[in-house]
Structure 1
Amino acid sequence: MGTQAPFHWLFGDQLGPHFLRPGGEVVMIESRAVFRRRRFHRAKAHLVLSAMRHRAAELGDRVRYVQAETYRDGLARAVGDAAVTVHHPTSHAALRFVRSLERVEILPPRGFLVRPDAFARWADSAGDGRLRMEDFYRRVRRDHDLLMDGDRPAGGTWNLDADNREPPPKGAAALPVPGPYRPREDAIDERVRDDLDRWERDGTVSFVGRDGPRRFPASRAEARRALRAFVRRRLPTFGPWEDAILAGDWTMSHSMLSAALNLGLLDPAECVEAAEAAYRSGDAPLNSVEGYVRQVAGWREYMWNLYWHLGPGYRESNALGHTAPLPDWFADLDAGAVRANCLATVLAQVRDHGWVHHIPRLMILGNHALQRGWDPAAVTDWFHRCFVDGYDWVMLTNVIGMSQYADGGRITTKPYASGGAYIDRMSDLCGPCAYRPGHRTGERACPYTAGYWEFVHRHRERLSHNFRTARAVKQLGRLTDLDDVLRDARHRDPDAPP
């Protein structure tokens, strides 16, 4: 077909200038069916629609913006049978759909540093067949000359994780750092909120969570301001407390840029280059900059490429045989129904903001789901729907592979299950809790501590053959109160509504 088709289609997560094609008219389609199929977080629905409409306003007469029931209907209304180009979509389902259309040419993917074909060549070259994120990250650093001094990593060390695991400052209600960039809502946001209200009133769409003032960028200009504010104000303190949690500070020193990146408003190259420039100028320490570069150029790229490398069948992975349904209180973000302070606090933050950083996601939300044996596909769908930065490519590998260990170790070397001691060490959430992190049984038994040992017992055969978890299985055999732990775990869920 060539790339001179008269129309170029932008999906709602392809909103930056790097997704435009020179020449041609732009098509954007707002599909109501997307919101009918899943019960999304209200703040996520608002952000996506606001970002799409802001982009359409910027493009002006160059765009045909269609509101339709489905993408197929909208495309037919926008272009008829004319030829269309579109950059590679970000999900298996969207790619299958685009490939089913006539006269649509798929252009290479944008918005990432590494293309799937390059990743496949790297994966094929892995000597023992294991795809280690650390090896991939170093390859990206070399290939893109990121934080490199010649052929050596800046500072002489590739990985500064050991410097980035500090617990939160004792007694602090919040980190002593400026808050993140906050956008101002405008008339577009007001119209989006009116539309969402109307859809809910007519019963055609249902949401979960709260839609307060928009907290994440919805335009390229806002996203660039947010990036500059992060690098200047918050990047210097990002590293040490990267894994820490404070009940009164849901953003800590995190960039809050994942939603803008995943909408295509920012390109990862500009993010990591800005961070490196801060290091080179002496405005941010290496451990903070390396930690951020690792998140964007390492983990994000790794997840995106694994999504395509592992294929659509990966979502069916369930190596641990977990099939329990998500309880209603979790699905509804009903934090008031939860007694464990850590889980109640984080669930309330998801309800109110549609976002928490990676440690609450992994070690509080995901850890709880893993211990309870919830269906990993349902957990993945929940994360997809309830997080403003959640997309299929983001959550499938992160949840199936890392959080729920449902792939049996293809991505990570061990399940991310832990007792209450880890949460107590890395947060201020255990002090006011009704449970005690050191208690396995009794009325004050921490659901994470008791749940951890029940999880190890349930999967002891598999875990005994893993060098990273075999020690826990041996410790299990030394527990004199194991029968009580298992009895309590089987007969009550301490986090269910009383």
Structure 2
Amino acid sequence: MSTAHWLFGDQLGPHFIEPGDQGPDRGAPLVLIEAKSVFRRRRFHRAKAHLVLSAMRHRAAELGDRVRYVRADTYREGLREAVGQRKVTVHQPTSRAALDLVSRLPQVEVLPARGFFVPNDMFRTWAEGRAGTKLRQEDFYRWTRHRLDLLMEGDAPAGGRWNLDHDNREAPPKGARTLGAAPPYRPREDEIDKQVRRDLDRWEREDGIEFVGRDGPRLFPASRREARAALARFVEHRLAGFGPHEDAMLAADPVMSHSLLSSSLNLGLLDPWECVEQAEDAWRAGRAPLSSVEGFIRQIAGWREYVWQLYWYFGEDYRDRNALGHHEPLPDWLLELDADAVTARCLSTVLAQVRDTGWTHHIPRLMVLGSHALQRGYDPRALTDWFHRCFVDGYDWVMVPNVIGMSQYADGGQMTTKPYTSGGAYLNRMSDFCTGCAYRPTQRTGERACPYTAGYWSFMHRNQRRLADNPRTVRAVRGLERLSDLDQVLQEEAARREQAP
């Protein structure tokens, strides 16, 4: 009998069961384990729990008799029920906790990770070959593009430039409520979804398992067929308009031209290779401009891959980094996704998007949610856990580098060159959130002072010694000297820290 192969709930695509030199045996029996303990440990967004369980059960239905689908309290119990003490293989799980679990089980053989472009040991060799220099995403992205022959013309990048980000920073169209892009693919729920919802209701009622946020209808793919349909629709109808307004935000149009493929990639329903290849094919066929295609490919082969590699390279203690000494507990309105408790229109709007869908695109995550948390000094580890639990595409490997390194600068610049925060002027330029808001982006003091503007200067003042030596923040630090009302800004901001913004 072939050695069974264990699939975790984020290893659901065909590339996780294809045989090879370091893969399962051809035709090996498969195991999927639905462990209820996962949902007891954290208070997940209900839509996320629904999506993960729906995706696992859809995959089991597709695989038929080849898979043993076990519902158990823990992974250990589920594995024992599925295979007893027999040997089993599994591709490297995507979290340190899961890897630690399978590594301690003597019957489990851990195979190399799949679903990424670069093996971890190859990245380590690249990183260690850069001793004395910072590990910057741009350098890694160029190395990856060249190595994979991705969007290249010989040894040169297509179009003569590696990065077209400068072309992709347009503000939203003036006066527009929506970007006018073709709507994204949305799946239809089926009987599996109905059963998942009944089970989650029962868990809440009988097992005391708690969730946050709203659930339904399901907005993201839960099967390989749905994920491929979502990719095809994006490439054919939305990719061309993706680039220019990639960083823009509109209150009535949370999806803009974004792909909405992150949850499918992170569930393993899509292989990143097929995403970047289809995008490049669209450019070469003249169906999408290079700036949009490069921006999309950079998100997957650049940023996503970079985050995955840094999660393993930086080590387990990276999640505990707190270079700025931030220890404020997360407020109840954030933990409960209570958008109605928040006055600032930008933050209330984005929080409502998370509450209702478990998703918002990367700029609201960084420059609305993350920037606010950075200014208020929220504990970065607690914030990382919040992002992990509350986003449908959030996993430990995704959120530890993104929050600790990118969003909260808690590693002191190990991953990025500056803290990512701004005053209200940036939000006013890149969104329509300030229209109709009770606050004014230009005001630092008084009842109508923008919490982002006041918070920005408070953050700069609190960290001026550290940031004065950083070429990317020294001008902002010097700007403190020109604020005649700085003392009042700091006094009012200190009083506001106890309130919802």
SS of residue matched to 1:12 = coil
Counterpart-to-counterpart distance in 2, 1:494 and 1:149: 55
1:9 aligns with 2:6: yes
1:447 pairs with one of 435, 447, 451: 451
Counterpart-to-counterpart distance in 2, 1:484 and 1:5: 72
Letter in 2 for 1:16: G
Q: Would the aligned equivalents of 1:123 and 1:129 in 2 still touch at CA under 8 Å? A: no
1:261 aligns with 2:260: no
1:119 aligns with 2:123: yes
Q: Would the aligned equivalents of 1:447 and 1:494 in 2 still touch at CA under 8 Å? A: no
1:272 matched to which residue of 2? 276
Q: Would the aligned equivalents of 2:342 and 2:500 in 1 still touch at CA under 8 Å? A: yes
SS of residue matched to 2:434 = coil
2:143 matched to which residue of 1? 139
Question: What is the CA distance between 1:396 and its match in structure 2?
Answer: 0.2
Q: Would the aligned equivalents of 2:323 and 2:412 in 1 still touch at CA under 8 Å? A: yes
Describe the shift of the 1:494–1:444 C-alpha distance in structure 2 as closer, same or farther (beyond 3 A): farther
Describe the shift of the 1:5–1:313 C-alpha distance in structure 2 as closer, same or farther (beyond 3 A): farther
2:78 matched to which residue of 1? 74
C-alpha offsets along residues 316-357 of structure 1, whole Å, 9 cap, x if unaligned? 100000000000001100000000000000000000010000
Could you state the TM-score of these two structures normalised by the residue count of structure 1?
A: 0.98
SS of residue matched to 1:197 = helix
Letter in 1 for 2:381: A
2:231 pairs with one of 224, 227, 231: 227
1:463 matched to which residue of 2? 467
Question: What is the CA distance between 1:122 and its match in structure 2?
Answer: 0.7
Q: Would the aligned equivalents of 2:152 and 2:158 in 1 still touch at CA under 8 Å? A: yes
2:203 matched to which residue of 1? 199
Counterpart-to-counterpart distance in 2, 1:339 and 1:188: 39
Q: Would the aligned equivalents of 1:339 and 1:495 in 2 still touch at CA under 8 Å? A: no
Question: What is the CA distance between 1:491 and its match in structure 2?
Answer: 1.2
Letter in 2 for 1:138: R
Counterpart-to-counterpart distance in 2, 1:410 and 1:402: 9
Of stretches 284-293 and 176-185 in structure 1, the one that deviates more from structure 2 is 176-185
Q: Would the aligned equivalents of 1:44 and 1:386 in 2 still touch at CA under 8 Å? A: yes
In structure 1, the gaps of 5 or more residues are none
Question: What is the CA distance between 1:173 and its match in structure 2?
Answer: 1.1
1:289 matched to which residue of 2? 293
Letter in 2 for 1:365: L
1:387 pairs with one of 386, 391, 396: 391
Counterpart-to-counterpart distance in 2, 1:495 and 1:226: 41
1:101 aligns with 2:105: yes
Letter in 2 for 1:373: G
SS of residue matched to 2:89 = strand
Letter in 2 for 1:330: L
Number of aligned positions between the proteins? 494
Letter in 1 for 2:323: A
Matches within 5 A, 1:424-439: 424-439=428-443
C-alpha offsets along residues 401-444 of structure 1, whole Å, 9 cap, x if unaligned? 00000000000010001101010000000011000000000000
1:407 aligns with 2:425: no
Question: What is the CA distance between 1:119 and its match in structure 2?
Answer: 0.4
Letter in 1 for 2:476: A
Letter in 1 for 2:6: W
Which of structure 1's runs of 4+ aligned residues deviate more than 3 A? none
Letter in 2 for 1:7: A
Counterpart-to-counterpart distance in 2, 1:478 and 1:5: 72
Q: Would the aligned equivalents of 1:340 and 1:495 in 2 still touch at CA under 8 Å? A: no
Counterpart-to-counterpart distance in 2, 1:344 and 1:489: 19
Letter in 2 for 1:193: R
SS of residue matched to 2:482 = coil
SS of residue matched to 1:477 = helix
Matches within 5 A, 1:55-94: 55-94=59-98
1:315 matched to which residue of 2? 319
Question: What is the CA distance between 1:149 and its match in structure 2?
Answer: 0.5
Q: Would the aligned equivalents of 1:5 and 1:83 in 2 still touch at CA under 8 Å? A: no
Letter in 2 for 1:254: H
Counterpart-to-counterpart distance in 1, 2:66 and 2:84: 17
Counterpart-to-counterpart distance in 1, 2:446 and 2:163: 42
1:418 aligns with 2:422: yes
Q: Would the aligned equivalents of 1:230 and 1:255 in 2 still touch at CA under 8 Å? A: yes
Counterpart-to-counterpart distance in 2, 1:393 and 1:434: 37
Q: Would the aligned equivalents of 2:213 and 2:356 in 1 still touch at CA under 8 Å? A: yes
In structure 2, the gaps of 5 or more residues are 18-23
C-alpha offsets along residues 132-165 of structure 1, whole Å, 9 cap, x if unaligned? 1111001111111111011110001101001000
1:174 matched to which residue of 2? 178
Q: Would the aligned equivalents of 2:2 and 2:29 in 1 still touch at CA under 8 Å? A: no
1:19 aligns with 2:23: no
Describe the shift of the 1:494–1:338 C-alpha distance in structure 2 as closer, same or farther (beyond 3 A): farther
C-alpha offsets along residues 152-181 of structure 1, whole Å, 9 cap, x if unaligned? 100011010010000001111111111100
Counterpart-to-counterpart distance in 2, 1:159 and 1:240: 13
1:473 pairs with one of 451, 470, 477: 477
Of stretches 120-129 and 329-338 in structure 1, the one that deviates more from structure 2 is 120-129
2:216 matched to which residue of 1? 212
Counterpart-to-counterpart distance in 2, 1:420 and 1:363: 10
Counterpart-to-counterpart distance in 2, 1:161 and 1:337: 36
1:364 aligns with 2:368: yes
Question: What is the CA distance between 1:471 and its match in structure 2?
Answer: 1.0
C-alpha offsets along residues 260-283 of structure 1, whole Å, 9 cap, x if unaligned? 000000000000000000000000
Counterpart-to-counterpart distance in 2, 1:492 and 1:360: 22
Q: Percent identity at matched positions? A: 68
Counterpart-to-counterpart distance in 1, 2:70 and 2:208: 19
Counterpart-to-counterpart distance in 1, 2:465 and 2:478: 11
Counterpart-to-counterpart distance in 2, 1:262 and 1:43: 15
1:483 pairs with one of 483, 487, 490: 487
2:354 matched to which residue of 1? 350
